[in-house]
Structure 1
Amino acid sequence: MPELSRLMPTPTPTLPRRQWLGHALGLALAAASGTALAQAASKPSGYTELRWDDLVPKGWDPMKGFREQNLSAMNDADPKVADMMQKMREAWDNAPTEPSLDGAAIKLPGYLVPLDESKAGITEFLLVPYFGACVHTPPPPANQIVLVQPAKPLSGYRTMDTVWASGRLRAARQGSPMGTAAYRLEAALVERYQAPAR
């Protein structure tokens, strides 16, 4: 599993907002192209194994409207940077889903970002394609975030643990403090990630 957290830092005085925005845009493109997590070779019984780029409709471009921007020429104090970030957030929160996947029984690897936890364990979490997504800002496009409601609470898991989540995928947009998810897996089976045998 790739360790991509170094690529998604938060803005600091030493990392200007325009460079941070460039990192965010680059990672969104990587996530949408499916390079953040590898697809396993085996196909479990009853579930279709997906890659993250399978969740993105053909032809949708997360960079649309941003390619012409010269980030290196912008200053952090430039109002255009704040405006661009707002437009990017709106576009990514409304990222389209792949209609053919609505209702499909799927298996998807990813990183776990807890949303709701009780004494029994994690009862709801976001599944994301790369390390640091939704923990750092901005979160990925909504079609690269899956809200997972496990069949039973998960114990022994931490933020950014790698897992396989299996269940019936629904196109159901839902916001959270960590980001907007465009998909939901209900009563999902969650297992620790194991790399496929080669």
Structure 2
Amino acid sequence: MKYEKILALAGIGLLLLQGCGEPAPGGDAGAAPTKAAEIQSQSPAQVPETRWEALIPADWDPQAMFKGVDIDSFDDNDPRALDLMLKLRQAWDNAPVNMALNGKPVRIPGYVVPLDQQADGIREFLLVPYFGACVHVPPPPANQIIHVLASETIPLQTMSTVWVSGTLEVMRSETEMGKAGYRVQQAQVKMFEE
């Protein structure tokens, strides 16, 4: 694949990260921590929607390394393109997380990237904010990937659209499909219906 195409895909990912909209009403990331037992007792409908933008620290700029770089001047075999892609991948794999969300209840929509496909469905997967993430190059930043361990096996397929509810943990995990910055265990998973 040409470096230009790889960089274009990275640029699309950046645009998607920026263009997701405003934080959901009532989604106050600075609220006092909620006890795990209280979170477990809340039904998914009681938890306000968490927006993907809330998972990105306010002071992190995913486009910082592209400032002052004339990507259009790169040729297919330009070593600067490969160097930039390697730096981008490293920066995104180590992307900072929003520590204020650790231990908070979440209800967030996204796409399923299976990690344990079984005959009756999926129990472990990555939740990502846009279609094709982790399946195509490059995966999103770690702060835009949630490692989900569902409370039960669910009949899902790759890129199914779902709501995930549970307690968000700041926990890095490395999988064959991408590096996640967050995890939700014992997650309640429902198909997304508008």
TM-score range, shorter chain: 0.7 to 0.9
Matches within 5 A, 1:75-86: 75-86=75-86
1:71, distance to aligned residue in structure 2 (A): 1.1
The answer as to 2:149 corresponding to 1:163 is no
| Sequence identity (%) | 42
Q: TM-score, normalised by structure 2?
A: 0.84
- Output the TM-score relative to the length of structure 1: 0.83
CA contact (8 A) 2:148 2:185 kept: yes
Worse-matched range after superposition: 44-53 or 81-90? 44-53
Measured after TM superposition, the shift of residue 33 of structure 1 is 4.5
Going from structure 1 to structure 2, the CA distance change for 1:116 and 1:44 (only over 3 Å counts) comes to closer
Provide the C-alpha distance between the structure 2 equivalents of 1:191 and 1:137, rounded to a whole number of angstroms: 27
Q: Is 1:22 the equivalent of 2:5?
A: no
2:96 aligned partner: 96
Q: RMSD of the TM alignment (CA)?
A: 2.2
Q: Which secondary structure state, in structure 2, belongs to the residue aligned with residue 160 of structure 1?
A: coil
Residues 22-41 of structure 1: pairs in structure 2 closer than 5 A: 22-35=8-21
Query: Which residue does 2:153 correspond to in 1?
Result: 153
Cα pair distance change 1:38/1:98, threshold 3 Å: closer
Alignment length, in residue pairs? 178
Q: What SS does the aligned partner of 2:107 have?
A: strand
If each structure's helix is expressed as a fraction of its own residues, which one has the higher value?
2
Q: In structure 1, how many angstroms separate the alpha carbons of the residues matched to 2:23 and 2:133?
A: 16
CA drift at 1:25: 2.3
User: 2:63 matched to which residue of 1?
Assistant: 63
Following superposition, the deviation at residue 26 of structure 1 comes to 3.3
Give SS of 1:53's match: helix
Q: Secondary structure at the match of 1:49?
A: coil
Q: What is the DSSP-based 3-state SS (H/G/I as helix, E as strand, rest coil) of the residue aligned with 2:60?
A: coil
Q: Does residue 109 of structure 2 align to residue 113 of structure 1?
A: no
Q: How far did 1:31 drift?
A: 1.8
Quote the residue 1:6 is aligned against: none
| Structure 1: unaligned runs, 5 residues or longer | 1-10
Residue matched to 1:178: 177
Distance in 1 separating the partners of 2:173 and 2:84? 23
> For 2:188 and 2:44, how far apart are their aligned partners in 1?
12
What is the distance in 2 between the residues matched to 1:86 and 1:71? Answer: 15
1:150–1:58 distance in 2 versus 1, CA, 3 Å: same
Change (3 A) 1:38 1:94: same
